[in-house]
Structure 1
Amino acid sequence: MAEANTTTVTLHVHRFTPRAERAENARGGSPFARKSSPFGGGASASARRRPRGRQWVQEYTIPARPEDTVLDCLLTIKRTLDPTLAFRYSCGHGMCGSDAVAINGTPTLLCTAAIRDWAKQPGTLPQVDDEGFRHVGNGDDENTSVEGAQAADAKTQSLGVIELAPLPGFPPQRDLIADIDPMLDQIRKLTPYLQADGVLATTAEGKVDAFEYLQHPEQLAKYETLSNCIACGVCEGSCPVFAGGDAFIGPAALVWASRFINDSRDSKAMERMDAIDTADGVAACQSVRACSRHCPRGIDVGEEMWQIVAKVRER
């Protein structure tokens, strides 16, 4: 009986080790140092600055099957080859959004990315810079199939190469772990929770109205899809305008704002629209719609951006 062929995949991982913090910074700095720059920014701006450290690309070749996910491959490397490799994950099923990275320059989740869909032959792999952004014009074809590309009589067949980098638009913390706090801070600024009028509804008999917040299906449909957002940062990493700071509030924050603006139970819709009707809010959105690509929860983020911009301008 013929011996079964073994398939492998090669991962090119953009790694990063931050430089050790200087002693005076760890202690809080000199009491005579300037606390903020005369050109703006200050402590929050320094926290968003890309940290310095060692950067390099490391290659790993491991046995793998086409149906394996990229997360499966990283876990194999972590457990058998290199325990120093750092990446973030939690549920492993595309529900938590913690494992967002750039795969071949495209932001997506490690746990939902199958090797068969992302592995490419070396000549077709896009060039990815140190910040995870893909360079165009390098023969990139996202639909390139790698199965069967090797000789049929080979004992070991390569499924191809996958390029991994931290999520673009955010400062890296270590290897594939990006600091998404800027995005979460922007979401928190927009009070991402239901704000009702605070009046306790009662029935004609003076009893508490247990059906106060019932909605018609049409009312629920206006925001139900938006409530699926898991704040993974994929849309932020895809947005060419978002820079991980205050220059643009970002599509994720606008999705969360839109979710409550469209909720018939919320009484702060006008205040919410005022909060995003700023130069770094809806005015900064350029309607590129790159944010719609690869949303793991199926949200057409670009369309939602267009809808919320139109609603703010028409109010």
Structure 2
Amino acid sequence: MTSSTNVTTVTLKVSRFAPRPERERDRARTGSPFARRSSPFGSGSGSGAARRRPRGRQWVQEYTIPARPEDTVLDCLMTIKRTVDPTLAFRYSCGHGMCGSDAVAINGTPNLLCTATLRDWAKRPTTSDATDDEGFRHTGDVADDAPADDADSPSLGVVELAPLPGFPVQRDLIADIDPMLDQIRRLKPYLQASGTLATTSEGKVDVFEYLQHPDELARYEQLSNCIACGVCEGSCPVFAGGDAFIGPAALIWASRFVNDSRDTQAMARMDAIDTPDGVAACQSVRACTRQCPRGIDVGEEMWQIVAKVRER
């Protein structure tokens, strides 16, 4: 990973979780009959059950390995997996920010492992982290925080990793994103056209009938880049806070087809999300926009779909 000269290191603080084996009586337990009924956008057994805190052992484990500033956090985890600790569990696939399978919380911020470089995310210790004699930590202004180590320090700093917020943890950094995917599926994320083929005077299919103007394509083209990584949902304080909310990812997929001129079910789609747990639950915080790996202005699109639902 690094050359023998000018070797630098990085420390990864990984939140780990080992689930406890499920017992027979746990499988039969259905939860309290007095619990509030959850959103229809949740799982089959209710979103409350889907987000039930898993039971098992939780701890934070530190790994210090050789690294370069240009290495990604995924590179570091792969090194740990191959050479240090084969029990460490995390999810990844393409490694290029296209599949969205490796979303986690990096230093508390949802992001993709494969696009986060150590240069951007490794935190150097600062003088503000010190505590006084009474145990209070001085925070101070960021501008006044000078690195405790000098520029020649061999350490790049520390990166803290945790599972994606708002989803049940399966093991270590692997979160169960099935609740989000179920919400997307319930909104029928596919084109619903009339199905009637236009024909020419000769009885042939009129292919030009289905061409779109560039302006029509522009209304939903960016939205079609969503990779359902869950970063926006992990960033949303309403969704990640555990409240009943369909979530920004599902609303983005709904908006994609509402804005498609070829789709004939726009009104039905807006009816489906016009619920207390749908667009009404969005608080317009716009935290969902900050780290979208595909460059979608999720907060703006949320505002647009909310406006369309209310104006229809």
TM-score bracket relative to the smaller structure: 0.7 to 0.9
Judged with a 3 Å threshold, the aligned counterparts in structure 2 of structure 1 residues 98 and 80 are, in CA distance, closer, same or farther, namely same
Look up the SS of the partner of 1:67 in the other structure.
coil
Tell me the SS of whatever aligns to 2:11.
Answer: strand
Which of 252, 257, 262 is residue 260 of structure 1 equivalent to? 257
Q: Is the 8 A contact 2:93 2:101 kept in 1?
A: yes
Residue of 59, 62, 80 corresponding to 1:59:
62
Kindly indicate whether the alpha-carbon contact (under 8 Å) linking 1:104 and 1:162 is maintained by their aligned counterparts in 2: yes
Please give the alpha-carbon distance, in whole angstroms, between the structure 1 residues aligned to 2:141 and 2:184: 34
The TM-score, its normalising length taken from structure 2, stands at 0.87
Q: Distance in 1 between matches of 2:270 and 2:235?
A: 24
Question: Is 1:118 matched with 2:138?
Answer: no
Partners of 1:226 and 1:244 in 2: how far apart?
25
Identity %: 77
Structure-to-structure mapping, 1:226-305, within 5 angstroms: 226-243=223-240, 247-305=244-302
Partner of 2:150: 150
Q: Deviation string for 1:78-104 (max 9, x for gaps)?
A: 000000000000000000000000000
Question: Equivalents in 2 of 1:125, 1:56: separation in Å?
Answer: 26
- Give secondary structure in 1 for the equivalent of 2:209: coil
Unaligned ranges ≥5, structure 1: 127-136
Q: TM-score scaled to structure 1, two decimals? A: 0.86
Consecutive unaligned residues in structure 2, runs of 5 or more: 39-43, 130-137
* Contact 1:124–1:140 (Cα < 8 Å) also in 2: no
What does the per-residue CA deviation read over 1:193-239, in whole Å, with 9 as the maximum and x for residues that have no partner?
Answer: 00001112111222112233210000000000000000000000000
Equivalent position of 2:33 in the other structure = 37
Change (3 A) 1:215 1:244: farther
Quickly say closer, same or farther: Cα 1:66–1:124, change in 2 above 3 A.
farther
| Partner Cα distance (2:257, 2:118) in 1 | 37
Q: Which has the higher mean CA deviation after the structures are superposed, 115-124 or 194-203?
A: 115-124
Counterparts of 1:9 and 1:81 in 2: how far apart (Å)? 14
**1:187 corresponds to:** 184
- Contact 1:183-1:245 at 8 Å conserved across structures: no
Partners of 2:142 and 2:276 lie apart in 1 by 36
Q: Deviations over 1:233-262 (max 9, x none)?
A: 000000001148771000000000000000
Residue 37 (structure 1) shift: 2.0
Maintained 8 Å contact 1:182/1:245: no
